[in-house]
Structure 1
Amino acid sequence: MKLNKRAALLLLFAFTSLGLAAQPSVQPGFFLFPIKPGQRNFLSGSMGEIRSNHFHGGLDIKTDQREGLPVYAAADGYISRVKQSTYGYGNIVYITHPNGLVTTYAHLLSFYDDLAKYMLQNQYKKQTFELELFPEKTMFPIRKGQVIGLSGNTGGSGGPHLHFEVRDTEDRLYNPLKWGFSEIIDTTPPDIFTLGLQPLNIYGRVNQEFKRVEFTPVKNGNTYTLPDTVYAHGMLGLELQTNDRYDGTQNRNGTQDVTLYINNKQIYNHHIDQVPFELSRQVSQHINYTMYKRQGRTFQKAYVDHGNDLPLYTAPRNRGRIVVSADSVYQVRLVAKDSYNNASTLSFVIKGQKPTFTQTFSKAVKQPALTYEVQGNILKINATDTASSPRNVDLYKGNRRMSLVPSYTRNSTSVSLYDMRAGLPDSMTFCGISKRLNYQLVVPPGQEVNYKNNYLNVIFDKQSLYDTLYLETKLEGDVYTIGDFYTPLHKPIKVTITPEKVINDKTKAAVYFLGLGRGRGMLGGTWNGNSITFSTSNMGKFKVLEDTRPPSIKLLSKSKVQIRFRIGDDLSGINSFRAEVNGQWLLMKYEHKTATIYSEKLDKSIPLSGKVVLKVKDNAGNEAVFNTVI
């Protein structure tokens, strides 16, 4: 019996469901390139690039800076999932293949006709724009090379492109370049911009100082060197600022592989070729999170930090940390590779140097000053003095006084170090200056901790923290501060506060996260009497605000074919919208980047005509109503 293509596909899927399908294949040529197959193409994003809170999970394929290019199915399969969303992936199609792999095609402008009709019918049936469906495998069989939609810029896309992924049934993300695509040419090795050295214990020094130091390598082809020997001591962590570039484009993409050698012995490697979707947020521990948040610069750690469970690493000894002993010499070699095994090498020498007290002066210093910060478990105190001989800092813990001898002095500022694991100090004094410390609790990772004071209650889940937190909280006016913006959380914390100011209408009041600038993000919260409880995935500043203003609505155009509006909200954000024509529900699609909604009729042959009512609600429940007639 001779089977046609559709019947053969359905039979193959039946065998797959019985567990008889072959193991996933990675041979080159298995997948077709989904944009302009067979033609030279370019990437704007690669697997494993560092994003704000995750690893980039696939390829961003350029689409000639425009929308509307045909998107081709990478292999035979069936559509197992389809979604339309305002944010995130936007319009996305999931195709399941007979070998168990799944390819995804995101930010689409539109779906192919049969799928688009299916989505539209269900949107009208359920009366919603945001919709995710899981069709039966017999509904939409797909052939390799079939056009499944047009490329676009929907969802969280920053410009027209196709986001393309390869996953398995457990949502592990694989580097699509493993399958080899002739459309992408890469003979260019990664760039190495900056090396960071971070002391990781109280004995750590870089050039006789307890501080993170950056070095700019000198480039010669694909080889990089540091012009001078680095003098160091104690436990150190290395960080690398590196990017990759594909031939013919200036986009800075991710570097997939970093290996660290000490005296020609490998002590660390990470290889970002497969990332479990549920662990992707741990990118916060893979990079120097503070540098990323403060300066927007990405440094990948060449060691495995505490709380990092990503399966990307080979670091059998000290988890990649270097322990530098006095009078020893360490030949250091860092090798950065891209997906095509193009490599760049940074080589330099670390010479062990025992910490000694040294002192330099600054004529600019006119009066004493006292500042402090915590690096890891170490309290670093900077005491600026006008005296020729450095004086001790007195640290207090209850009635106990500890006199800290300076470790070194730079430009009349003496640095004293204290290990916070010895107990939380409450104050310090220096040259008549008294400073109250605000460390309230040691919060270890892996434990549920409930902390309460007179203005808030914080519950840390067992998985909230990556590493030990020396908790600081503060109430200034009506702004609550918990920890700081530069310390990442793995899982959310739960917070309860009781605002002192009178809340006129609790149904309109919610907690907002205050960013570094003027940004405000609504977190919501549940009121219980005069207290409100909320969850947050970030530490920093929080405030209760009332939103009593309804959203704005502006008619942009109307015709018998389509009606368009611009909608917006100045605080809590748009929650929902509903349009009716003569009392009948009308689908409105939302493009948040332009703040526009526009109609799509179920039956294109019937013109829009009659009374139009648009209702828009914000997240505080305020509603705006707009009436017009077509």
Structure 2
Amino acid sequence: MIKPIDRPVLLSGNFGELRATHFHSGIDIRTGGVEGLPVVCVKDGKVVRVSVSPTGYGQALYVEHEDGTTTVYGHLQRFNARITALVRQIQYEQESFKIDEEVRDRQLIFHQGDTIAFSGNTGSSGGPHLHFEVRNTRSEHTLNPLLFYKIRDSRIPVVRGVYLYRESASGCVGLVRRVALKQSVNGCYTLGQLNIPAGKIGIAVFITDYMNDSWNKLGIYRLGVVAGKDTLFAMQMDSCSFDQTCFINEIKDFDCYKKKETVYRCFGNYQGQVMGVKNRNQGWITVGEDSIVPVKIDLKDINGNRATVTLTLKGKEAPVQEEQEVLRYDRSYSLDLSGATLDLEAGALSASVPKGMKIEKDTVSGRDIFVLSEKDVPLLKKARLSVAGEFDRKALICEVDRAGRKYPLATQWSEEGLVAEIGYLSRYTIAEDRQPPVISFLGKFPDGSLKFKIKDDFSGIATYRGEVNGRWCLFSYDPRYNLMRCSLKEPVFVSGQVNEVKVIVEDRVGNKNELLVKVKK
């Protein structure tokens, strides 16, 4: 397997890295801040799927190989001429910029080293790079591409802190001690004895890894915890399943992640559901009063660079805790809160949490804010929030942050009320969107393109369409810049005369707007 880009492989993201909602399924190869580098087929294969989207992977190719693997190339600027012609044909047939099409029967066969596309920055990309994946074709499990490529790396993973958690008698988990660490030259950290309240103790590790010639922060490849003689937690990122995406918050500490700390939890009730993770006793260390437990944390990157942390835990008398009403992680619930109902499946919570539901008032709208938890709690399974009442189709269920900002959710409307799926126990309210999207013509540009700015102030863009002289025309859409763009080279434009160009945009609650401009080609 050759490299997809003919340049030294430097990574801005590695496999299994902790992301906001998922484990990173491939590697992100830096392109030096530029677009348009040739992307080649890493081995003989057939393009079986093409995808174009304003979000996600943007423009992407899926190439199947005879050895049972599929390689994926994402955030592409453009495809090669042959694939581009096919993609444009599909887009015009479907009258849609966004497509995701299986093209197995189109005989798009390429040899190792053939240029299939050019690197870019499309979709939900934060800068020019190539997202590259290797998948098992049959299972669709993603494989760590660095099992196939050797990248120069002699840098030892850095341990920035060790965090200790305790499970209360009610099953709630709380942070009891945080130990910050200074970087060790040889990767060996010795903490000595840590006194903690006796009970079930969980360990988490704040880790940052780097590779040579790069300061991008990367995820760790292998992590293990041994208490006494027992291996309580072991993780090795060789493969991932898209089915395990929901368990990302079993591994990462959600509160720390919001502070941009990559903290790996080495305990959890459902960590066994994550491919490449094994734990014993759910990773918990039982520390009795006055007992001492030696602990060793071992971590390696994929090149074998290693760091270790050694410590001992000594149990002290645990404080007496008041009994509290909780939502247990292993039970299902249907909870009512003044017109709102929360339906929660067993296993939606990673651990039991205090039951802290209440009603507050939105000081601006006067509507109820349904507070489902005192602090945001990520869910392993979506929950159902329904709000009874008479609402029109402009109403939405919204999440409300601590500053009062509202984030609309995909909401179903019925005569009984509103329903939305939620991914967090958080704060929610009802809001309305009665303003149509705004469309602005930015003009005709020297590269022969027309550009329009489209923006919706609340519920978000649902559909967008461009027409020229009454016929559908291919417009690209980039929500990062609120930009729609088309080329005057599109076949629906007529040379030498004035063309009527119409842009039609609708938001998620049906507010609609359109703009007609006349342009001479």
TM-score (structure 2 length as normaliser): 0.91
- The aligned residue for residue 364 of structure 2 is none
The residue number in structure 2 matching 1:565 is: 452
Which of residues 69, 75, 84 is equivalent to 1:116?
84
- Secondary structure at the counterpart of residue 587 of structure 1: coil
Kindly indicate whether the alpha-carbon contact (under 8 Å) linking 2:170 and 2:352 is maintained by their aligned counterparts in 1: no
How far 1:292 sits from its partner (Å)?
2.2
- Report the alpha carbon displacement of residue 590 of structure 1 after superposing the two structures with TM: 0.4
1:309 to 273, 276, 279: 273
Counterpart AA for 1:595: N
Following the alignment from structure 1 to structure 2, what is the Cα–Cα distance between the partners of residues 419 and 300? 29
Q: Secondary structure at the match of 1:269?
A: strand
Confirm or deny that 1:509 pairs with 2:395.
yes
User: Which secondary structure state, in structure 2, belongs to the residue aligned with residue 550 of structure 1?
Assistant: coil
Is residue 2:418 matched to residue 1:532? yes
Question: Any stretches of 5+ residues in structure 2 without a counterpart?
Answer: 362-366
Deviation of the 1:486 alpha carbon: 2.6
Q: 2:491 aligns with which of 600, 603, 606?
A: 603
CA positional deviation for 1:452: 2.5
1:449-464 counterparts in 2 under 5 A?
Answer: 449-464=333-348
Deviations 1:73-95 (A, max 9, x none): 11111111110001111111001
After TM superposition, list the pairs within 5 Å mapping 1:325-344 onto structure 2.
Answer: 325-344=288-307
Change (3 A) 1:138 1:304: same
Matched, 1:247 2:188: no
* Equivalent residue in structure 1 for 2:376, among 486, 497, 513: 486
Give the direction of change, closer, same or farther, for the CA distance of 1:157–1:571 in structure 2 (3 Å limit): same
Conserved? CA contact 1:307–1:466, under 8 Å? no
How far apart, in 2, do the equivalents of 1:486 and 1:451 lie? 17
Q: Kindly indicate whether residue 322 of structure 2 is the aligned counterpart of residue 418 of structure 1.
A: yes
Query: Which range moved further: 149-158 or 266-275?
Result: 266-275
* Secondary structure of residue in 1 paired with 2:342: strand
Letter of the 1:510 counterpart: L
Could you tell me how far 1:145 is from its partner in structure 2? 1.1
Alignment partner, residue 277 of structure 1 = 242
- 1:40 corresponding residue in structure 2: 8
Ranked by relative contact order (alpha carbons within 8 Å, sequence separation 6 or more), the top structure is 2
For 1:578, the equivalent position in structure 2 comes to 465
Post-superposition Cα deviations, 1:483-511, rounded to whole Å, max 9, x if no partner, equal 35531112211122135xx85xx122211
Aligned residue number for residue 226 of structure 2: 261
The Cα shift of 1:52 comes to: 0.6
Is residue 2:162 matched to residue 1:195?
A: yes
Contiguous gaps of at least 5 residues in structure 1: 1-30, 205-209, 357-406, 408-415, 425-441
Q: Deviations over 1:400-420 (max 9, x none)?
A: xxxxxxx3xxxxxxxx41354
One-letter amino acid matched to 1:35: I
Which of the pair has more CA radius of gyration? 1
Residue 242 and residue 99 in structure 1: after superposition, are their counterparts in 2 closer, same or farther (change >3 A)? same
Kept in 1: contact 2:195–2:316 (CA 8 A)? no
Alpha-carbon distance change, 334 to 615 in structure 1, aligned in 2, over 3 angstroms: same
Matched, 1:132 2:18: no
Kept after mapping to 2: 8 A contact 1:218/1:226: no
- How many Å apart are 1:329 and its aligned residue? 3.4
* Residue type at the aligned position of 2:435: R
- State the alpha-carbon separation in 2 of the partners of residues 241 and 308 from structure 1: 21
Letter matched to residue 412 of structure 2: T
Distance 1:260 1:485 in 2: 29
Code of the residue aligned with 2:307 in structure 1: it is S
Letter in 2 for 1:466: S
- Pairwise mapping of residues 103-182 of structure 1 onto structure 2 (< 5 A)? 103-168=71-136, 169-181=138-150
The more displaced of 331-340 and 158-167 is 331-340
Q: How far is 1:310 from its partner?
A: 0.9
1:50 is aligned to 18
Q: Identity of aligned pairs, percent?
A: 25
* CA distance 1:444–1:599, change in 2 (3 Å): same
Which amino acid counterpart does residue 173 of structure 1 have in structure 2? T
